[in-house]
A and B are shown apart, each in its own frame.
Chain A
Amino acid sequence: MRERLSFYIPRQSPVHRLNPLTKILITFTIIIMAFFSPWYWTAPLLIVFVIFPMSVIAKVGREFLFAAARLLPVVGFIFVMQALFLPGGRTILWQFGFLKVTLENLMAAFLVAMRIFTMVSSFILFLLTTHPSELMSDLTRRKLPSTFSYVIISTLQIIPQMQAKANTIISAQRSRGMDTQGSFTKRIGALFPLVGPLVFGSLVEVEERAIAIEARGFSSTLPKTSLHEIPDTRLDRSIRWLMLILILGTFASKLWLS
């Protein structure tokens, strides 16, 4: 059984070798360009000419496609909802009762869908190519409070554990005759016996875990060191400057055109 601990897939690639902070910045730059660029086709072009090629260079092309494919239904749903229910629009292409699809709304819906797809897929690429521990070590080294990085990284790992716990709770409450069918209000009411133990039980665990990490010097004020060395090269720095320029350029062009 393959132990899949996180989204991260270890490969030897130029993208993997980039410093984690560089990769975060690239991700944010892509998102900012997709959302703020005045040019309509920015988002889909980024996907086709930047994100996907990067996934190939990073040797995670196939995994990326799988993950992106899982996104499509959600994005498709958003597209349809936006297309049907946005107000306004003049050029009616299709009408059925009160539902109408206009050209303007179609284009707006496509924009929204593409922007969301860009955002999520660039995050996916980031997660596929960055080991969470390395990210956190790097951020801590750059003076991000260690508590902050701890919260993020432990949450990533805790999620599957929480899922297992939630399953146990569901079994326990079903064994007490909890109704899993029935009316909507009944089922909402049924949430409390599930959420209750999850939350309260987790509080107990959280306290113990806090003690455990304290016992390992977590709140020490000494400057932290790291087991693994995380490289930060000239290429990294150059890329980060480039990203900064792209971000500023995007905002500048938006201001200039509006």
Chain B
Amino acid sequence: MAVLKLHNITYQYPLTETPVLKNINLEVQEGEFLAVIGPNGAGKSTLCYTISGFVPHFYKGELNGTVEIAGVETHESSLSQWVVNAGLVFQNPFNQISGAKYTVYEEIAFGLENTGVPREEMRERVDRAMALTGITDLSERSPYSLSGGQQQRVALTSILVMEPKILVLDEPTSQMDPIGSREVLKVIKTLSERGMTVVMVEHKMEWIASFADRVIALYEGEILLEGTPEEVLTSPELAIRGFGISRYTQVARQAGPLGLWPPDQRLPITLDEAVDGFSRSQP
């Protein structure tokens, strides 16, 4: 069942001359993991805002087309009703700390306090969400005392506790160090495996190849390519438009004309695929 439907979405920020998203049509099934790739300025963040309702409710501007989550259109609900449907986590973990709470536990409960959840239920949900993301031991810490990776996991948990139908992640690891990235991706992987519908903007191709069910490549506000990770991430259309591609793909593509990559083998995205292909081309 399609839990997310974008139909003919075109959007322009206020006081700008060109639309950032042009005629986007997209469907995401329940439980699917959709990765979104694209250069800066392609419209990826705007797409995330559109799915989560910030376009048009927060950013105003001209939105044409419809966004539907589980049958309800964004135009029909207010922003605070919408956030229950699509939870947004973005790049900067520090800016996602509300500043209104002194401990991680309270921080996570913040969203439930705002939406009038009764106290008993609040505690249950917070405990459950923290266990799911593995941050129970951070309960009494100040959010400001945490590392980037920990803060991002707190942000994720704070959104998860609201029980959204879709999790929208806008480059959640781009400002993290390697350890932080690993921590955050591990949590995202767990959530996806448990059936959460995820839309994630990401640069790192290797990860996309291992987590994503489908990938869309956004370019200048339009969907350039759509398909499985293997189809999209190895497409020659990406390199010529300045998308960052996996170095394994890059080197195999260079190796092809030199006869160093088996001609019948798909270009690799991950290390294992590259090892496989390059080992094979040795007689």
Contact = CB atoms under 8 A, between A and B. Distances in A.
A and B, direct touch (CB closer than 8 Å): yes
Contacts of A208: 90, 92, 95-96
Interface string B41-59: 0000000000010100010
A220 B114 contact: yes
Interface stretch (B9-17, B100-108, B219-227, B250-258): B100-108
Nearest to A219: B80
A157 B90 contact: no
A74 B84 CA distance: 51
Interface bin, chain B: 35 or more
Contacts of B113: 137, 224-227
Given A209-B96, A211-B58, A227-B106, A219 B79 contact: yes
B115 A213 contact: no
Interface string B150-186: 0000010011001000000000000000000000000
A219 B116 CA distance: 12
A162 B164 CA distance: 32
B208 interface: no
Contacts of A100: none
| Residue from A150, A161, A220, A223 having most chain B Cβ neighbours under 10 A | A220
A211 B102 contact: no
B67 interface: no
B58 A154 contact: no
A132 B100 CA distance: 9
A136 B114 CA distance: 13
A10 to B, nearest CB: 11
B98 A217 contact: no
Interface in A127-169: 131-133, 136-137, 146, 150, 153-154, 157-158, 160-161
A213 B98 contact: yes
Interface in B225-245: none
A5 B107 CA distance: 14
B116 A212 contact: no
B153 to A, nearest CB: 15
A216 B87 CA distance: 8
A227 B113 CA distance: 7
A216 B96 CA distance: 10
Nearest to B52: A215
Interface in B68-123: 78-81, 83-84, 87-88, 90, 92, 94-102, 105-106, 109-119, 122-123
B114 A161 contact: no
Contacts of B117: 225
Given A218-B114, A224-B114, A133 B101 contact: yes
A227 B95 contact: no
B100 to A, nearest CB: 5
| Residue from B87, B98, B145 having most chain A Cβ neighbours under 10 A | B98
A209 B119 CA distance: 25
A113 B18 CA distance: 61
A217 B95 contact: no
Nearest to A212: B96
B144 interface: yes
A55 to B, nearest CB: 22
| Residue from A5, A161, A214, A229 having most chain B Cβ neighbours under 10 A | A214
Contacts of B142: 3, 5
User: What are the 9 closest A-B residue pairs judged by CB atoms, nearest first?
Assistant: A216-B111, A154-B99, A222-B116, A220-B80, A208-B95, A217-B114, A212-B96, A217-B115, A227-B109
Interface of A: 3, 5-6, 131-133, 136-137, 146, 150, 153-154, 157-158, 160-161, 205, 208-227, 229
Interface of B: 52, 54, 58, 78-81, 83-84, 87-88, 90, 92, 94-102, 105-106, 109-119, 122-123, 141-142, 144-145, 155, 158-159, 162
